[in-house]
Structure 1
Amino acid sequence: MNGTVGPVGYGASVIEHLSIPTPAGDFDAIAAGPQDGRPVLLLHGFPEAAVEWEHQVARLGGEGFRAVAPDQRGYSPGVRPDDVAAYAMDELVGDVVAMADALEWRRFDLVGHDWGGAVAWWTADRHPERLRSLTAVSTPHPRALGAALRSDEDQALRSQYMRDWQSPRTEERMLADGGEPLRRMYEWKVPRARVDDYLARLSEPGALTAALNWYRAPTPRDRIGEITVPTLYVWSTEDVALGSTAALDTENWVSGPYEFQMLEDVTHWVPEEVPEQLTALLLDHLRRH
């Protein structure tokens, strides 16, 4: 694993830039905290990158944890395969385990938002022995979401975008007018400089296609089961993509210790819209488990 590159001060801690080598390629990542600190891996969503967790990584590092947030498959230039099937859930979960192995983490806490939340749920199902705890932000348990898609017209309408984005012209539409359609997705809740950074990253050749391949990849053949590891699920009431039906049903798919936190008047972009509030919930969860 490469050393730090251009550490960036953030509050009382320091953000490092890492390269994590795996059989699939090298993942770019940000990190903070002592090397022997309790390990926490944070997975970003679409259309974002590891820096969506910058506040949480810095705070966790300052509290003595070893926090690492990678740019996931397709977002890291070193792991950007062309094949759509390479973005299937088995591959994404495999990346989590491979990164933990490269970091020499036998057990770790896993945090995910949006697509990163989906990967985190599946990792907790497939590899519970590796996880000390799970924190899912925005994304409900996949079985709860599946049930809502079948029974709740509101959730079916909210999720229509997932089918629409499988169109081969989606990249062209999102990047039209200097990326204005993509910019509007953040609902003016993510800092402008951060949105500029995301647009620059996703405008790189092949980057947006790779990110959208997460939506185009084959769905898992196996069914996810109940989650046994201690779980915190954070859902926000103004999330345009994920409604209350699946959020409230998620508790029925966790058999281990479970905590549900509902954030009033907060949109989908929780880690960046209310970073202090989310970090406080996360720290409390980690300290109790």
Structure 2
Amino acid sequence: MMRSLRTPVLDIACEESGPPDGPPVLLLHGFPYAPRAYDGVVARLVAAGRRCLVPYLRGYGPTRFLAAETPRSGQQAALGQDLLDLLDALRIERAVVAGYDWGGRAACIVAALWPARVAGLVTGTGYNIQDIAGAARPAPAEQEHRWWYQYYFHTERGRAGLEADRRGIARLLWRLWSPDWAFDDATFAASASAFDNPDFVSVVIQSYRHRYGYAAGDPALEAVEAALAARPTITVPSINLHGGSDGVGPAEGSAGHHRFFTGAYDRRVLPRIGHNLPQEAPEAFARAVLDLPPG
């Protein structure tokens, strides 16, 4: 069932499945993906009695901003605040939150800053809260190469390129980031329709510029960004899933992330799985959710 939930900033389109009185699970997609990534996970969780909620992030699918004057920000504080606001709109006091890429960032932020709202966390590639103050430090050459698209989006040429060919760029990133996943045209098309949102390009461009300090954030989110700048630890029970073939963030990158998790923590590397964890490994992703306390 598709629902529309009004928050202070957005009308969030959210797919709901499973028993309404089941333990709630929020499943959050990344860039450039969509809720279709969770279809296999949802089927398994519903069979286990979980209530599953899969929103379209800001800038994706039917989700819309309420006001023209609201900054079309994709910064990390916006993603975390959106998730908190969605929990409020759903009147869910406490839930398991799970995500990867942008969705993993939102889940980590809520788990770190509002832990009373989170029963457990599944995060793709570990601690996803950005170190914006340290973003100017160069990474090793191999990693800089993997982040080419981010530097492209820092330019007006990159903005124009994304506007002109959203699907072409997204499909290339799917291939590069999941080299062992042989997805077909229909699978890609099912998610790519979410990129037609009128705010998709603006939100994506702002996200990749803000994280390097090249774009201002939404003034309404300054307090959240200040809290995140302290690199808060995560105290809730957490499972870190990392694809062994992840083409944008290799698995060794999260090997030391245990220092950011002060509660129960487990790291699971999934062989031959790339960046799109729930769609490539739905059984492993669902198992991680079910291994956490439900509430």
TM range (shorter): 0.7 to 0.9
Residue of structure 2 aligned with 1:260, choices 237, 260, 267: 267
- Aligned partner of 2:58 in structure 1 is 73
| Percentage of identical aligned residues | 27
Write out per-residue CA displacement over residues 190-226 of structure 1, whole angstroms, 9 at most, x where no aligned residue.
4422311333331444433333332233573422221
- Aligned partner of 1:4 in structure 2 is none
Q: CA deviation at 1:84?
A: 5.0
CA distance in 1, matches of 2:156, 2:188: 24
Q: CA deviation at 1:155?
A: 3.3
Q: CA deviation at 1:177?
A: 6.6
**Structure 2 counterpart of 1:202, which letter?**
F
Residue of structure 1 aligned with 2:36, choices 32, 51, 57: 51
**Structure 1: which 5+ residue stretches go unaligned?**
1-15
The alpha-carbon distance between structure 1 residues 154 and 177, as it changes in their structure 2 partners (threshold 3 A), is: closer
Alpha-carbon contact 1:166-1:216 (below 8 Å) kept: yes
State which drifts further: 188-197 or 118-127: 188-197
CA distance in 2, matches of 1:84, 1:144: 22
Q: CA deviation at 1:101?
A: 1.0
**Structure 2: which 5+ residue stretches go unaligned?**
176-180, 211-215, 218-224
Write out per-residue CA displacement over residues 105-151 of structure 1, whole angstroms, 9 at most, x where no aligned residue.
1111110111111111111111011111011013544369969x766
Residue of structure 2 aligned with 1:113, choices 100, 116, 126: 100
- Aligned partner of 2:187 in structure 1 is 194
| TM-score normalised to structure 2 length | 0.81
Q: Secondary structure of 1:285's match?
A: coil
The alpha-carbon distance between structure 1 residues 77 and 168, as it changes in their structure 2 partners (threshold 3 A), is: farther
Query: How many residues are paired up?
Result: 273
CA distance in 1, matches of 2:165, 2:78: 34
Alpha-carbon contact 1:144-1:246 (below 8 Å) kept: no
- Aligned partner of 1:216 in structure 2 is 209
CA distance in 2, matches of 1:108, 1:237: 28
Q: CA deviation at 1:22?
A: 1.1
Query: Which structure would you say has the larger RCO, counting Cα contacts within 8 Å and 6 or more residues apart?
Result: 2
RMSD: 2.8
- Aligned partner of 2:14 in structure 1 is 29
| TM-score normalised to structure 1 length | 0.82
Alpha-carbon contact 1:236-1:270 (below 8 Å) kept: yes
